[in-house]
Amino acid sequence: MKLLLTSGGITNTSIRAALVQLLGKPIEESDALFVPTAQWGQPQCSPETVWRSVAGRWADGESMTELGWRSVGVLELTALPTIGRARWQPWVEAADVLLVDGGEAVYLAHWMRETGLADLVPALDAVWVGVSAGSMVMTPRIGREFVDWQPDGTDETLGIVDFSIFPHLDYPGWAGNTTAAAHRWAENIPGVAYALDEQSAIRVTDDGADVISEGHWLLLNPPA
């Protein structure tokens, strides 16, 4: 299992170096699949934001799809049940990296279970690069603060890792993502949790997890 769980994507040289290390080869020799599915469950997202993410048309920072990949394809999870696993699973197994965009993590977890992708992830050779909800989906819980798809439903996600993530720490203008908000959020998270700013990520391999950062991050609810 090779995961690079980011808040804002590949935002600096340290996170990019961690990505290359996980790939085991240059980005220019790697084939990517981009997964925009989580955006459909987030009320603040729209067809325009999905297009911007796929096309690499965000003004602030380098897009996940524009890092210099040998090839990039789009994998829309909501479509997969209509075409059958025998068709789409080889695409996933052939990819070097899955670029999993942000949005709503519980919605993304639902479609990963619905398609069977969740069962494949732990054994994939591909690197999983998550942005925001694309990272949070791997955790056991995301906290009520980040549930937008079904506000009265669960905040449980896949639990592939044993820690939770508070993203976009101290993002300018986001009152719900302050350091104080992160500490309040962690009070209701049963287990280890990290708060990550846009310059931070968590690298996960079979050997464990470590933080890659050129910014600011917090370890919340540390292990005893």
How far apart are the C-alpha atoms of 127 and 125, rounded to whole Å? 7
How far apart are the C-alpha atoms of 50 and 102, rounded to whole Å? 10
pLDDT digits (tens, 9 = 90+) for 68-94: 999 999 999 999 999 999 999 999 999
How many domains does the chain contain in total? 1
The CATH number assigned to the domain holding 17 equals 3.40.50.880
Q: Domain of residue 46: give its range.
A: 3-220
CA R_g for the chain: 16
Mean pLDDT of the 149-159 span: 95
Structure-block tokens of residue 184: 């309040």
How far apart are the C-alpha atoms of 78 and 173, rounded to whole Å? 32
How far apart are the C-alpha atoms of 41 and 43, rounded to whole Å? 6
Q: Please, what sign has the CA dihedral across residues 115, 210, 147, 42?
A: negative
Structure-block tokens of residue 158: 């896949």
How far apart are the C-alpha atoms of 121 and 16, rounded to whole Å? 22
How far apart are the C-alpha atoms of 77 and 98, rounded to whole Å? 12
pLDDT at 63 over 60: yes
pLDDT at 61 over 60: no
**pTM (global) more than 0.85:** yes
Mean pLDDT of the 178-183 span: 97
pLDDT digits (tens, 9 = 90+) for 99-137: 999 999 999 999 999 999 999 999 999 999 999 999 999
